[in-house]
Structure 1
């Protein structure tokens, strides 16, 4: 009977990696939004620009969370990662170290919309609520691959 690998806390992405992921992905999603607004304005439709400019602070916060969640959802569904994770050397896996299901990725993205979710990263092992709700793990690629190789050599 073959042994089953399970992700251990030793391969989790660090706080630094998760912070890089957050800032890079927030920047990229905002840049994409700006590009969409500029394209709309150049084509003579400034509706999105005026709508965005009319938002109050609360609406801006909600809108920002939603467009970051959509960026992460699409990136993770189509490319298996986000640009932030590629830059920081991390990736998303399930409990067995495999690529997460589409359902898990959708749940991850919905979990990002939880108010104050950012504070869930202040724990020792740096797993956000969107990770816990979707039963996914963000791991350091190098450490993860080393641990998986060692596990299969035993």
Structure 2
């Protein structure tokens, strides 16, 4: 018998599809402290990096920092912010601020976001007035544009292996117990 029979059914194991979760975001106060701590970490990294450069390179490094243009300073800060948030959230699902406040970033399935979503979250932070999107969001939602566009949530860290949210119930699940009236036969529905 030919093992490459195109008419034979596949023997591949089926896996259950991932289930989207109803996820509750953490409070706006915790989100503010995440931002504040991450800003402080960013400034500390810049200061340490500058100090190391001055110690190693000496006077030329000092002169380079003093003569740095505003445009170069802006480009370096954007690149460092993109790298920090993308690498930390992509690899671990949290930043230093989220680690301290005991929060995590998850996707709509309750998993860490991965590098693609983390990069999209980081890029969305540069949308004008994006910082106000979280402040102006409804208290029941608590998501900024960088969360909703990347389909992510910032949640309180689950304890003891608990899931990040509750499974969503589809409309068909709600009506599975026969709540809908039975369909009429085709002969009755004709005028």
Question: Which one of 124, 134, 138 corresponds to residue 121 of structure 1?
Answer: 134
Question: Which one of 139, 142, 154 corresponds to residue 138 of structure 1?
Answer: 154
Question: Which structure is higher in helix share?
Answer: 1
* Greater relative CO, 1 or 2 (CA 8 Å, sep 6+): 1
| Structure 1 portions without partners, runs of 5+ | none
TM-score by length of 1: 0.77
Q: Does 1:105 align with 2:118?
A: yes
Q: Compute the displacement of 1:106 (Å).
A: 1.1
Q: Does 1:34 align with 2:50?
A: no
| Structure 2 portions without partners, runs of 5+ | 1-15, 168-191
Q: Compute the displacement of 1:115 (Å).
A: 2.4
Distance (Å, rounded) in 2 between the aligned partners of 1:30 and 1:133: 27
Residues 1:48 and 1:90: Cα distance change in structure 2 (over 3 Å) = farther
CA RMSD of aligned residues (A): 3.0
Aligned residues: 147
Distance (Å, rounded) in 2 between the aligned partners of 1:3 and 1:80: 19
Deviations 1:80-119 (CA, angstroms, capped at 9, x unpaired):
3101111112111111112223211111111112222211
Please identify the structure whose Cα radius of gyration is greater. Answer: 2
Q: Compute the displacement of 1:70 (Å).
A: 2.1
Residues 1:4 and 1:69: Cα distance change in structure 2 (over 3 Å) = same
